[in-house]
Amino acid sequence: MPSDKGRRQRKLWLLWTTTSIALIGALVYLMTEGENKQFFMPGPMSDGHHQIGIACESCHRDPLAGRTVLQQACIDCHGEERRKPFDSHPRSKFRDPRNADRLESINALECTTCHVEHQPEITGANGLTQPVDFCVHCHADIGTDRPSHRGMDFASCADAGCHNFHNNRALYTDFLLKHLHEPDLLERRTLPAREFASMLEELPDYPLSDHPRRQLSAADADNDRQPSLDAGALADWAQTAHARSGVNCSGCHAAPDDQGEKSAWNDHPGVQACAGCHQLELTRFERGKHGMRLAAGLTPMTPAQARLPMRENADHLQLTCTSCHTAHRFDVRHAAVEACLGCHTDRHSLAYKQSAHYRAWRRELAGEAASGSGVSCAGCHMPRVEHDINEWSSRIMVEHNQNATLSPNEKMLRPVCLHCHGLGFSLNALADRDLIERNFDGTPRVDVRSMEMAETDLKRASQEAASAR
Ligand code: HEC
Ligand code: HEC
Ligand code: HEC
Ligand code: HEC
Ligand code: HEC
Ligand code: HEC
Ligand code: HEC
Ligand code: HEC
Ligand code: HEC
Ligand code: HEC
């Protein structure tokens, strides 16, 4: 018979072993499956990535593989913009042997040289983790090369309206010179018109044969598989764009599955139901902060998870296509302002309704001004831009990635402001933090010197050329 002591020891052993196994199990679970993977995160994520922080594997695809794999993850998600002409310091520039010496003090080939993660103490605006004067590593001679830059502090190169490291599409010298002396408000000022509906026949991926274009009425509704007919849904659908172009109930509620087979009626079509006809909008949506969680295979973003200020009663809403478009009305005017204000409550958003832009938008809605002359939230944040369908044709699309024109905000100049304002005025407005907070209600009080400097350089260069002759 074992003694009391022996029995106690065996019990302790058993306890120790089971606890250890449980702990290891819990640890493995936490690292791979659990919602608490954050436990192993060295520090909180930057504003750009906080939504997908839990999806470690979107960046750390193979934790043992080192930096090349991490670098590839950055390129897979951001590569499109990291090329010419969108990027003036693309990696290809530094693979050129003539520039190799520049990499000795700062390795610009690797994204993580300037954008590490999990380190809020050193992370600045736009996820930058280098001191802001890092341009000095490669441009120490700029004061002698360009007299207009003499004596300037390197911490000022990237001031608003001067230069960006990546995107300088509206800031390079020739562009500034082309737009010298423009008026604040252009005479002809409208946004381009939307084109999708008029181009269905030309879009290679639109399933026109399954949904021939014709006007459908309430009597045509093919909701036979759905006995509880919703009168409101029926009326909304019959009056709007989808019924006009032959998109019946089943188009969304029994959308084909991955294999192209018609599926059973589904009361709650998700974003994939839209993708059969609007893949482009979904792809763009998933690249911005509204849709990036979906792209990472997570549940949709909700205002409760936001870092930006949001309306409290919106906490539970999920960001999908219907958060702005609602289920059957798909009213793009509602989507462009009122939908946004159903969630966003930062000072800039709340100030919008006091602005001249909102007054112009009201005039457009009332039919008192031309279509495209008003400026809604979407007018700035979801601009209508040219998209290449293939090598031969393009169409105007609504940019559903609202981050494509932010950080830095000069990315908004070409697709938005310059349709209506001069470049000099727009640069000043976008550099004025206070004016942004008031949602552009008033004249800019910041004076960006870029235009003036470009002009001075030009004059000097032509004088030098003349005297050399
Ligand atoms: C958006 C991309 C991204 C996501 C998502 C992400 N990380 Fe990281 N992580 C990084 C980057 C960038 C570094 C810095 C690497 C360097 O300095 O070379 C890093 C560094 C680390 C390090 C330090 C060791 C190393 O490899 O340098 C650990 C540990 C780590 N991450 C864990 C996690 C965990 C756990 C998660 C999920 C809960 C996570 N990370 C999510 C981008 C990410
Ligand atoms: C799974 C896709 C994904 C991966 C992987 C990824 N990012 Fe991002 N990143 C995004 C999205 C989406 C945003 C938010 C939208 C935006 O700002 O463009 C973002 C934002 C950013 C921003 C802007 C931050 C800000 O505050 O404006 C930087 C800088 C950035 N990413 C750099 C990187 C780097 C460097 C890596 C590699 C270590 C990386 N990203 C990996 C998707 C990704
Ligand atoms: C030498 C420093 C440096 C390197 C290397 C670098 N960045 Fe950046 N990045 C910046 C700076 C500075 C900003 C702030 C905006 C600007 O100046 O363009 C920025 C902004 C960004 C942004 C947000 C703004 C935008 O234009 O989209 C993204 C995304 C980004 N970087 C991704 C990357 C990726 C991906 C790589 C690697 C291919 C990379 N960066 C390499 C310095 C760098
Ligand atoms: C790793 C080296 C490196 C760093 C860091 C760097 N540059 Fe450059 N930059 C270059 C090279 C190389 C060129 C092309 C050759 C040249 O004009 O000297 C260039 C060209 C430019 C140009 C003119 C051409 C163009 O396409 O716009 C501007 C403006 C510029 N850089 C600004 C900046 C600013 C601002 C910073 C800091 C935010 C910066 N650079 C950081 C290497 C660098
Ligand atoms: C363009 C796509 C689209 C078309 C066409 C469409 N629906 Fe819907 N419908 C949706 C979406 C999206 C939802 C909302 C799903 C959710 O909230 O989860 C929805 C929801 C519904 C619901 C559930 C409502 C509820 O509150 O639970 C019914 C019933 C319905 N639709 C009937 C119809 C009928 C009948 C037609 C044709 C007359 C139709 N739908 C046409 C996209 C569509
Ligand atoms: C079977 C194809 C099809 C499906 C599925 C579909 N749509 Fe459409 N959608 C169209 C067509 C065609 C138009 C253009 C109709 C027109 O203006 O004549 C359109 C137009 C729109 C518009 C613009 C409306 C306007 O007034 O200009 C929005 C917004 C929209 N769709 C959203 C959605 C959303 C969200 C879903 C998923 C819930 C969806 N669509 C599913 C074919 C489809
Ligand atoms: C943040 C709000 C918002 C979300 C989320 C959103 N949209 Fe839109 N969408 C708009 C606005 C606003 C417009 C009209 C903009 C305009 O008139 O220039 C629009 C226009 C459209 C159009 C018409 C495009 C054209 O070129 O005529 C389609 C189609 C569309 N959306 C589909 C979708 C789909 C599919 C999703 C989900 C992947 C989605 N939208 C998510 C706000 C949104
Ligand atoms: C269902 C709620 C909801 C609706 C509707 C909505 N948003 Fe958002 N929006 C969010 C959330 C949540 C974020 C992410 C905030 C974060 O990550 O801190 C966001 C992010 C943004 C950002 C990015 C800000 C940044 O700093 O990167 C912009 C810009 C934006 N929304 C504009 C709009 C506009 C314009 C509309 C209407 C066309 C709109 N939103 C409609 C909830 C919403
Ligand atoms: C005239 C163009 C314009 C209009 C109209 C406009 N915005 Fe903006 N918005 C901007 C610019 C530019 C920024 C970038 C500010 C910066 O540089 O940080 C911005 C920033 C934002 C941000 C990010 C705020 C932050 O603190 O990071 C959100 C969210 C936003 N806007 C939502 C909206 C909503 C919602 C509306 C309509 C009610 C709206 N905006 C109307 C131009 C506009
Ligand atoms: C579709 C045309 C249009 C677009 C796009 C547009 N605006 Fe405007 N903007 C106007 C009109 C019209 C006014 C009102 C002028 C007036 O009433 O004197 C205005 C007024 C302003 C004002 C106030 C001027 C004052 O004296 O009170 C500022 C600042 C401004 N816009 C900046 C911008 C910026 C920055 C952008 C780009 C992000 C932009 N706007 C995009 C048409 C536009």
Per-residue tens of pLDDT for the chain, all 469 residues: 455 666 777 776 777 777 766 665 555 555 555 556 677 888 999 999 999 999 999 999 987 777 888 999 999 999 999 999 999 999 998 988 888 888 888 999 999 999 999 999 999 999 999 999 999 999 999 999 888 999 999 999 999 999 999 999 999 999 999 999 999 999 999 999 999 999 999 999 999 999 999 999 999 998 876 656 678 888 899 999 999 999 999 999 998 877 777 788 888 999 999 999 999 999 999 999 999 999 999 999 999 999 999 999 999 999 999 999 998 999 999 999 999 999 999 999 999 999 999 999 999 999 999 999 999 999 999 999 999 999 999 999 999 999 999 999 999 999 999 999 999 999 999 999 999 999 999 999 999 999 999 999 999 999 999 998 8
Nearest residue by C-alpha to atom 2 in ligand 7? 324
pLDDT (0 to 100) of residue 23: 63
Nearest residue by C-alpha to atom 41 in ligand 7? 321
Nearest residue by C-alpha to atom 11 in ligand 5? 327
Pocket test for ligand 1, best of 32, 37, 59 (most atoms within 8 A of CB): 59
Query: Does residue 380's CB lie within 6 angstroms of at least one atom of ligand 7?
Result: no
Query: Does residue 430's CB lie within 6 angstroms of at least one atom of ligand 10?
Result: yes
Kindly list the protein residues whose Cβ atom lies closer than 6 A to any atom of ligand 2. Answer: 46-49, 58-59, 70, 73-74, 77-78, 111-112, 115, 126-127, 287-289, 292, 296, 403, 407
Pocket test for ligand 7, best of 281, 319, 328, 364 (most atoms within 8 A of CB): 281
Give dist(CA 376, CA 176) in Å, integer: 27
Q: What is the largest CA-CA distance in the chain?
A: 114
Rounded to 5 degrees, what angle do the CA atoms 412, 414, 419 make? 105
Kindly list the protein residues whose Cβ atom lies closer than 6 A to any atom of ligand 5. Answer: 221, 223, 226, 229-230, 233-234, 237, 242, 247, 249, 251-253, 267-269, 322, 327-328
The rounded Å distance from CA 112 to ligand 8 centre is 27
Residues 116/129, Cβ–Cβ less than 8 Å:
yes
Backbone angles phi, psi at 409, to 5 degrees: -70, -10
The rounded Å distance from CA 287 to ligand 3 centre is 16
Tokens of 192: 């381009």
Residues 87/167, Cβ–Cβ less than 8 Å:
yes
The rounded Å distance from CA 350 to ligand 10 centre is 17
Ligand nearest to the CA of 315: 8
Nearest atom in ligand 1 to 73's CA:
2
Backbone angles phi, psi at 221, to 5 degrees: -55, 125
Nearest atom in ligand 5 to 237's CA:
38
User: Does 408 sit behind a cis peptide bond, omega within 30 degrees of 0 on the bond before it?
Assistant: yes
Kindly list the protein residues whose Cβ atom lies closer than 6 A to any atom of ligand 8. Answer: 51, 289-290, 301, 303, 306-308, 314, 317, 319, 323-324, 335-336, 339-340, 342-344, 377-378, 381-382, 402-403, 406
Residues 380/416, Cβ–Cβ less than 8 Å:
yes
The rounded Å distance from CA 376 to ligand 9 centre is 11
Residues 296/305, Cβ–Cβ less than 8 Å:
no
Query: Does residue 349's CB lie within 6 angstroms of at least one atom of ligand 9?
Result: yes
Give dist(CA 432, CA 272) in Å, integer: 40
Task: Pick the closest to residue 152 from 138, 167, 169, 133 (CA basis).
Answer: 133
pLDDT (0 to 100) of residue 101: 83
Q: What is the pTM of this model?
A: 0.95
pLDDT (0 to 100) of residue 289: 98
User: Does 85 sit behind a cis peptide bond, omega within 30 degrees of 0 on the bond before it?
Assistant: yes
H helix intervals, 171-325: 173-178, 231-239, 241-244, 249-253, 271-287, 292-295, 322-325
Backbone angles phi, psi at 171, to 5 degrees: -125, -5
Residues 242/330, Cβ–Cβ less than 8 Å:
yes
pLDDT (0 to 100) of residue 29: 56
The rounded Å distance from CA 102 to ligand 1 centre is 27
